[in-house]
Amino acid sequence: MTDLETRAAGRPGALCRAAPALLGYAAVRALGLLALALWSAARDKSAYTLLTARWDSLWYTRVAELGYGYEVRLPDGDVHSNLAFFPLLPWLERLGAALTPLSHADAGYAVSLLASLAAAWGIFAVAEHVYGRRAGVCAALLWAVLPVGIVQSMAYSESLFTALAAWSLYAVLTGRWVTAGALAALAGLTRPVGLAVAAAVWVAAIAAFVRSRSDAGADGARGPARAPGDGARRVLGMLLAPLGAAGYALWVGHRTGKGPLGYLDVQAGWRNGFDGGVAFARFIAGRFTSFPSALAGVGLIAGVALLVWLYVVCVRQRQPLPLLVYAGIVTALALCTSSYFGSKPRLLLPAFPLLLPLALALARMRTSRSALVVGGVAVASAVYGAFWLNGSGPP
């Protein structure tokens, strides 16, 4: 075992340590679901349908039920193919429906609920490792009270992906390279941005290799003792990490007959693509054509500025390199793609390292004050989530 592994393994009662974070997270999400149920009932809508049978949830369910090959051709010539949706969540939906009385949609909802708890635990573990237990609890709660936190309770893939990403990053931080690579591969089977997890594993592994070479060569002295086979495990982790995302993308290219870049053509049918943020900038500029919409434009600019500021603070606080790489790639892909602009807030949900500076600040407050802050934001988030899903909602 490495020194980091010994340190992590020596912490007794991992679940007991995480209990305040998990209980707090569950309470916040329960509040959000209650607000959604009440708001939906007042509008004569089904909250459960909003959570399990609209937008992307329907696409995942179709993949689970019928497999790949379904597409919708729109009047403007766009082709929406279900090949755009990565397979891990549909696989789990199919498994859940096969092993239980649940329908595919019900199984997807159950997977998301369990995955959201696993994600909260993973976020706690990462933050605790870097900043201590109190900051870990605050980080999990902050992830729960995000304005679009209701997505964490939907039959979407964000919770599953965040759980896999968080635990992969924790494995990296604690020197468990094979585990980190395997979880990164699974994350890559969940969403295209899984490559951000693979990049974090690679950067951390390369940095560890450079450090080990430097330590071994400094003044001709030997470096610190390492476990036998540590280098081999690091290489294996690096090899495993990109297999999920790369494997699925190559399979799509083979299926469509368009080669290694075939998945990009599938995304183009949904008008998704990386344009460096040009389309998003034009969308924001378009908000300033009238006074009411100009307020939304100001809000969008303030939101982007906040994200940039948080990332700068993360760098200044010297967050571990894999967290910076991961958060940077997730944020860049969310902001710089030409996807539906209303989806960008939920695409940022996995970028939890950006919350760590706020978690650290919250952890330094008195318990009563931090509880008041989290409670107030939780209520606002619950109301906004209920309003959002009963309106346009996530695509």
At 91-106, the pLDDT tens digits run 999 999 999 999 999 9
The mean per-residue pLDDT over the stretch 171-185 comes to 97
Give the pLDDT score at 304: 93
Could you tell me the two tokens for 341? Answer: 């602009």
Task: Give 42-49's long-range contacts (Cβ < 8 A, gap of 24+).
Answer: 43/390, 45/390, 47/389, 48/109
The mean per-residue pLDDT over the stretch 351-375 comes to 95
Give the pLDDT score at 224: 41
Q: What is the value of pTM for the model shown?
A: 0.93
Helix then strand then coil, in percent of the chain rounded to 5, is 75, 0, 20
Please report where in the chains the tokens 């896999």 appear, as a residue: 164
Give the pLDDT score at 230: 82
Backbone φ and ψ of 337, nearest 5°: -105, 160
Q: Which amino acid is at 395?
A: P
Give the pLDDT score at 227: 59
Give the pLDDT score at 5: 42
Give me the count of residues in the chain. Answer: 395
Q: Quick check: 317 pLDDT over 50?
A: yes
The mean per-residue pLDDT over the stretch 233-258 comes to 95
Q: Quick check: 342 pLDDT over 90?
A: no
Helix count and strand count (H, E) for the chain: 19, 2
